[in-house]
Structure formats: C-alpha cells, structure tokens
Structure 1
Amino acid sequence: MTDRPTDKPKLPKHLRRTRAQSAILSRKDFLKLSAAGLAATALAGGRVGLPPAAASESAQSMRTRQIPASGESLPVVGLGTWQQFDVAEDAPEMEALTEVVQRLFDNGGSVIDSSPMYGAAEARVGEILTELDAHDDSFLATKVWTRGRQDGIDQMKRSEILLETSTIDLMQVHNLVDLDTHMNTLRDWKAEGRIRYLGVTHYTTGALDQLADIIERDQPDFVQLAYSIGVRAAEERVLPLARDHGVAVLVNRPYEGGGVFRRVGERELPDWARDFCDSWGQFFLKYILANPAVTCVIPGTSSPEHMDDNAGAGYGRLPDAAELDRMRSFWEDL
C-alpha cells in the first residue's frame, strides 16, 4: 500500500516486467523449467535457483506467516539495509544493490527494513524501488530514531520523502529511543493511515526484558530483535510472549555480522542437514524460521547471489524438533 509519482500509464501488476527481471531466471520460472524436466541442468549452475531441499518439497512459493494484528501474510525472508545500502547515489555498488532488491522480489520476498540511522540507506531503497517500479511489491519498514515528538514527526516525514512513498507499512521505534513519546505519535499515524503497523526494535540481548515488558504492556504490532543459532536468549521469554500476545517478530542479525560463518569456517555442510537446506546460510536462517513465533528474518546483503541463497531458506521444509537439537549440539561442539 504505497503511492509514488509516475509519469507513465501502469500495466496491471501481473503484466509488469522490469529490465532486471528479464535478465534473471526467477524462482517461478525455474519451477516451470523443473516441471519440464530441466531442473537438473539449472541446479548444476550453483547457488542461484531453487535449492535441492526446496525442490524435493515441490515448493510453489516462499513460505509466509501471518501478521497477528491483521492476518496479512508476509514472506518469511526479507532484506536488511544496514551498512550495505549506505552508499552514494552514483556509487558503483548501486547496480548490485538494485539487483539484490530485484532478486528479493523474484524469489517471493517483500520485506525491506531500513532506518534513518543507516545513513543513505532509505534514499537508496526509495530510488531503487522507483527505478524497478516495485513499491507495490514491497513491504517497507523503517524506524524513528530521535528524541522529542516534533523531531520524531519531522524525521518520519523525511523517511516518507526518501523512500518515495506516502504510506510506510511498518514504522518502528529504533532501539526504544524516547519510546513513549513516539508510540503515541505512531498510534495517531496508524489511525490516520500514514503507517499500517507500528513496532519497536532493539539489537542487544540486554534489551530483551524491556522488549518483553513492552509486548505485555503495549502489544505493538511488531517487535524486532536479534536472534541466531548462536544468540538464543530471545527463545527464553520474548518469542513465547510475542506468540502468546499476537505480536509479529522481525529478526535482525541472523548471521551475527558474519560471525556464524567465521565459526563454521571451511567445514562442509553436514550430510544430515542437506535434507532441509542447501548451504550454511540456509542452515542458519532455517534454525530461526523453525521457531513459529518468527514472522520474517531480514539478513542484509549487497550480493545478488547471497540474496538468492537467503531466499532459499523460505522454501522447502523446516528442521523438526530432533533436527533442531542436532543443530544446537553441532553448534556447541564447534
């Protein structure tokens, strides 16, 4: 639900095809090829395309989970923009970043999370979505990160301009800064239709008790927190509370800034894990998504190939309870 300026007639969404889409084998196209008997050839190409674990499930679309506040479904893998999208408008990285966003959509995702704290990220996201004519395909989440009611309002208005939209899907109080002040504003903006959902965020385990208290007291639409196979404190209280109180959960730092990859090093993915995932990235993301309280995980990347790989975690089956135990034991033994 976004509005943006346009100077040309719009085709119906199902007939639109961008330049980037024309150059990429999308997951939907790949599945059609698989049905025609070409899956083996396509899969031989490497990381891009449907992983074997997903193919074995005959997945037709990315897994979705409902936002409890509305029943709206969200794809379970999205995109974070911290650091990677903080580049100049004419930076050479823009071509790859545009491709990353296109691959998110091609693979069935929609959630893009940003913040005024992330430098130029909001502006780059807005420009890319306009270039791709893809605002309608996105679920835009950003944050308010300042003190004072009017400063918060001014910052959120600026986010609308930078993101090139008049309606932001999810506005979050970043790191709980001036929480009560901004929550009052967000309730007003939601009632007015300027935002669709409101939420709170933090990235440290030290803030989990605060997030739990906010869930119990305020029941926001969303809470965003850090959660990974190596940082599992959210499993103790916050995730069960979010599930019980009907609060959607976005997960940031699923890879711990790359720390989980450094820990596994050059090890091969265990054979027993290949039944449900195709890479270490999917291993780590599927651990998170196996928790039913998690609505969407938002790893950041500037690599189109890694975006494909991340999205693959939204396909195929998730690890069962016994496999989750095995994943935790494997991690602890590293």
Structure 2
Amino acid sequence: MKRNRLGKSELYVSEIGLGCMSLGKDKGKAAALIHEAMDKGINFLDTADLYDEGLNEEIVGEAVRGRRSDVVIATKVGNRWEPGKEGWSWDPSKAYIKSAVKDSLRRLQTDYIDLYQLHGGTLEDPIPETIEAFEELKQEGLIRYYGISSIRPNVIREYAERSNIVSVMSQYSILDRRPEEQVLPLLAEKGISLIARGPVAKGILTEAGAAKEAKGYLDYDKKELAALRAALSEAGGNSRGLAHRAIRYALANPAVATVIPGASSLEQLLHNIAAGDAEELTAAELEAIRRLSKSNRYEQHR
C-alpha cells in the first residue's frame, strides 16, 4: 500500500489507516482485525484514551505486541475521565497531558507514542502551556511528534502558527467539504498533513448507505442525500464503487496523508483496504463530484 509522509515528520503512513474506535470491546475480534489490517499493508492505527475508557488503547497495545516497529500508533489526550464522576471533562493543561501520557503508554504497552494528538481544543485554552507540554514530551522521548484533532478552523490556525504540529485530524468527505475553504490551504502552506476521518460519512457514502440516509448529514436532508448518492453512482460508472470513490476523493487533496475509515467487521476492513488499489480520481471526476455536492462552510469557529 502507498505510504505518505506525515507533515514534515519522519513518519510515513499508509494512505488507508485504521480508525480503531469502531473495533468494539471484544479483544479477540478486535485484535484479529488489527492483524489483518497490518498484514494487508496498513501501518497507521488511530486510537484515543477516550475510547471505551482506555480499553481501546489496551486492545491496540496487545494486538501490536511483538510488531511495534511495524506500526505508527496515534492516540489522543485532553478528555479527562475521573472515577465517580459522570462523563468526561476537558483538560488541556500541561500537568494533565504529562500525566495522561504515562497511562496511555502503559495501556499501549510501549515506550513511546508516534503521534500524540490534542483531542479537541478551544481559543480559551492555555495554548502556550499545552504546546509546552507536547514539546517537553518530545524532548523526553515519550512521543515522537504531536498534532491536533479538531474541526475548528480558528483553533487549527493557532496551532499551525504557534506550534510544531505535523498533522491535523479532521472530518473530511464529499458530504463535509468544509476543510477545503480554509483548513486544507493553510495546512498545505505550512507543510502540515490532514488525517481525514469520516471519509464515507458514517457509511452514507457506501453501497449500503441508503439505509443511513434518514437522519440526514450536516446540511443535507434525506432527499438530498438520496439524490446525491444516485448522481454520484451514475457519474462514477462502473470503474469504482461509491465507497472507494469517496475515499479516493479525500485522498485526492495533496494535503491529506491518510484517511481513517473505521471497520467493525472483516468485510468492512477488506473493502476499505481495497480502496488503496482503486485508481485515483481524474481531474474531470473530481470536478464532477464538486459540482454535484455542496461546498460546505464552517459557520462557527472561523
């Protein structure tokens, strides 16, 4: 599978990664999916301390034991869970980040994290302190690089200007083209990579996606989704399925290093991996997709 450089780092990640959040809590099943992904060329695994209260990190750690050097592990920090309290609280403080990384390292059974990502962020955060925490973790050898997971252009802009982030994880698909307006041009200018999550838009942009249209998606209602799916299928011909065209659309932007569709079954995983063998979209195909879909804009956090 093709690998792309992640920002200006020394990390090269498979263009199709594995979003581990959807693996579930069955350790045996989840490990089998991770092993299959690795055997088929995926080397980028994305998890977070938030997922299943740390269990997801444990699953990833156990699955890659003995093969640690074969993978790029990305995890996230900033959402604090405290026993006895309901839900998570946001904590981007230096003290918490430097404490939480130790728990993630233990759960992942590793001495270092390849990519440590701030899991959110606002302009009200102590941003210089947060950046300082990541920089110190780099100096201590506990993390190799850091990034941010955010859909807020104003927050992304702050970190792109003030820190050494190598990546931004953000939602990006044919149904959510918001990053095209501000975020992707900024990242291209700064040499920062986008990690595109949600490339098939909760499964709507798959062959079986008609069943998922009812709730709509962003500023698309059910009828608009049905019409768009039909138009995309007609315009695409028989060269690729809808899901593969959706994944290739996200990868067509040069600032995108990898896409991380989730997979909860072997069938889904193999279908995602096959997108790596699908032909890249032509300029004409990209233009047709842009013409058929909405050029969404961020209404908040600009």
User: What is aligned with 2:251?
Assistant: 289
- Partner Cα separation in structure 2 for residue 124 and residue 188 of structure 1: 27
User: What is aligned with 1:105?
Assistant: 38
- Partner Cα separation in structure 2 for residue 160 and residue 289 of structure 1: 30
- Partner Cα separation in structure 2 for residue 323 and residue 223 of structure 1: 26
User: What is aligned with 1:96?
Assistant: 29
- Partner Cα separation in structure 1 for residue 148 and residue 117 of structure 2: 5
- Partner Cα separation in structure 2 for residue 224 and residue 309 of structure 1: 22
User: What is aligned with 1:298?
Assistant: 260
Question: Is the contact made by 2:7 and 2:167 (CA closer than 8 Å) also made in structure 1?
Answer: no
- Partner Cα separation in structure 2 for residue 326 and residue 71 of structure 1: 35
Deviations 1:51-82 (A, max 9, x none): xxxxxxxxxxx122112323542211101122
> Secondary structure in 2 aligned to 1:295?
strand
Identity over aligned pairs, percent: 28
User: What is aligned with 2:13?
Assistant: 74
Q: 2:147 aligns with which of 199, 202, 227?
A: 199
Question: Within 5 Å, which residues of 2 pair with 1:226-237?
Answer: 226-237=171-182
- In structure 2, stretches of 5+ residues that fail to align are 81-90, 214-224, 295-302
Change (3 A) 1:180 1:255: farther
- Partner Cα separation in structure 2 for residue 296 and residue 324 of structure 1: 18
User: What is aligned with 2:191?
Assistant: 246
> Secondary structure in 2 aligned to 1:155?
helix
Give the paired residue count. Answer: 258
- Partner Cα separation in structure 1 for residue 198 and residue 278 of structure 2: 22
Question: Is the contact made by 1:63 and 1:76 (CA closer than 8 Å) also made in structure 2?
Answer: yes
Whichever residue aligns with residue 141 of structure 2, its letter is: G
Task: Give the TM-score, by structure 2 length.
Answer: 0.78
- In structure 1, stretches of 5+ residues that fail to align are 1-61
Whichever residue aligns with residue 201 of structure 1, its letter is: S
- Partner Cα separation in structure 2 for residue 280 and residue 100 of structure 1: 23
Task: Give the TM-score, by structure 1 length.
Answer: 0.71
Change (3 A) 1:273 1:216: farther
Q: 2:56 aligns with which of 114, 117, 121?
A: 121
Asked if 1:172 is matched to 2:117, the reply is yes
Using the TM superposition, give the Cα deviation of residue 271 of structure 1 relative to its aligned residue in structure 2, in angstroms: 7.1
Using the TM superposition, give the Cα deviation of residue 143 of structure 1 relative to its aligned residue in structure 2, in angstroms: 1.0
User: What is aligned with 1:149?
Assistant: 94
Question: Is the contact made by 1:273 and 1:283 (CA closer than 8 Å) also made in structure 2?
Answer: no
Question: Is the contact made by 1:86 and 1:118 (CA closer than 8 Å) also made in structure 2?
Answer: no
Larger RCO, structure (CA 8 Å, separation 6 or more): 1
Change (3 A) 1:272 1:259: closer
- Partner Cα separation in structure 2 for residue 71 and residue 162 of structure 1: 24
Deviations 1:161-212 (A, max 9, x none): 101101110001110264443321111111222111111112x4xx123213
Alpha-carbon RMSD: 2.2
Question: Is the contact made by 2:24 and 2:30 (CA closer than 8 Å) also made in structure 1?
Answer: no
Question: Is the contact made by 2:195 and 2:259 (CA closer than 8 Å) also made in structure 1?
Answer: yes
> Secondary structure in 1 aligned to 2:4?
strand
Whichever residue aligns with residue 181 of structure 2, its letter is: E
Change (3 A) 1:310 1:68: same
User: Is the helix fraction higher in 1 or 2?
Assistant: 1
- Partner Cα separation in structure 2 for residue 283 and residue 215 of structure 1: 30
Question: Is the contact made by 1:186 and 1:198 (CA closer than 8 Å) also made in structure 2?
Answer: yes
- Partner Cα separation in structure 2 for residue 297 and residue 311 of structure 1: 11
